[in-house]
Amino acid sequence: MRKLRVGEGDERNPQWTLDEAAASFDGHKSKLSRIERGLTAAAPRDIRALLAFYGVEDAELTEALLTLARGGRRGNWWTDYRDVLPRQFTAYLGLEAEAEALLAWQPNVIPGLLQTAGYARGLVLAHRQRKNEEEATRLVEARMERQAILQGPNAPLLQAIIGEGALHRMVGGRQVMHEQLTHLAEVAEQPNVQVQVLPYSAGAYTPEEGGFQVLRFADTAAGEVVCVDLLTRTLYVDDKGEVLQYRDAWEDVLGKAAPHQESIRMIMAAAEEMK
């Protein structure tokens, strides 16, 4: 099969420019150029968009390229933290990097993608068990590096619902909590981040056992995956019937959560109390 580079074109499209190809996945010329030269890994969603732009309809070839993309991203930044990150969590990071949308429900803590370093450290120290100081520091560094996924033109949508109790649960001290809540209100203004608070007044809700994340993928054939953090492991749910139950639970919490602006006011009021 003859290689076809951007700008060379074919009979259907005699002249593809770098701008046109980059626009097909909301990227930039510099990013596409780096991908072509092997300097930047291509995300699976980038591969899908580019193959559609190039008119590639071969399902076998498409899946082969997506498999390569998934493998390349799994071997990404988190490989530097394999000594401190649980193996199951690195599997989650591979899924998270591929997701188009992340639906997070956390009744007791601020979600990891929205944590400050001080808050993350407070949680790590509380749950570190036999971890030493160096391990704790590296776990915090990994959590901060993970948050880069929310930046850039291909960043996924993060829709996070947080229990009101998480705004008042003291983690790391008053100054740390003030910084965390202020940061939470600020990051909630990003176009791809939605934060809502489930107030105490909402009463009972469906997922009483704890928090979970629903990962939605651009490839509809991949469906959705639910991740539930347990004390000893991460549970992955991909059975359609079970996933539907978690989606129903998510919709129940979403329907009872405060609207965006009211949620921001609740967050800032809690931040003021921490001064």
The CATH number that applies at residue 237 is 3.30.870
Residue 242 · residue 226 · CB < 8 Å? yes
Residues 126 and 238 in one domain: yes
Q: Are residues 91 and 154 in the same domain?
A: yes
Tens of each residue's pLDDT in the chain, 275 residues: 333 344 444 444 446 677 777 676 555 565 566 566 654 566 666 777 778 888 888 877 777 777 666 554 444 778 888 888 888 788 888 888 889 999 999 999 999 999 999 999 999 988 766 568 888 888 999 999 999 899 887 899 999 999 999 999 999 999 999 999 999 999 999 999 999 999 999 988 876 678 999 999 877 656 789 998 887 778 888 888 999 999 999 999 999 999 999 999 999 999 999 98
What pTM value is reported for the model?
Answer: 0.71
Residue 80 lies in a domain: no
Same domain, 170 and 101: yes
Q: Does any domain span residue 195? A: yes
| Residue 85 near residue 131, CB atoms below 8 Å | no
- Please indicate, yes or no, whether residues 200 and 265 belong to a single structural domain of this protein: yes
| 163 and 233 assigned to the same domain | yes
> Is there a single domain that holds both residue 68 and residue 204?
no
Q: Which domain holds residue 149?
A: 86-273
Which ranges in the chain belong to alpha helices (H)?
A: 18-23, 29-36, 44-54, 59-74, 87-98, 117-127, 133-146, 164-168, 174-187, 240-256, 260-273
> Does residue 3 lie within any of the structural domains?
no
Q: Are residues 197 and 66 part of one domain?
A: no
State the residue for tokens 């390349």. 72
Q: How far is CA 52 from CA 48, 112, 172, in A?
A: 6, 34, 48
Do 202 and 266 have their domain in common?
A: yes
What's the domain count of the chain? 2
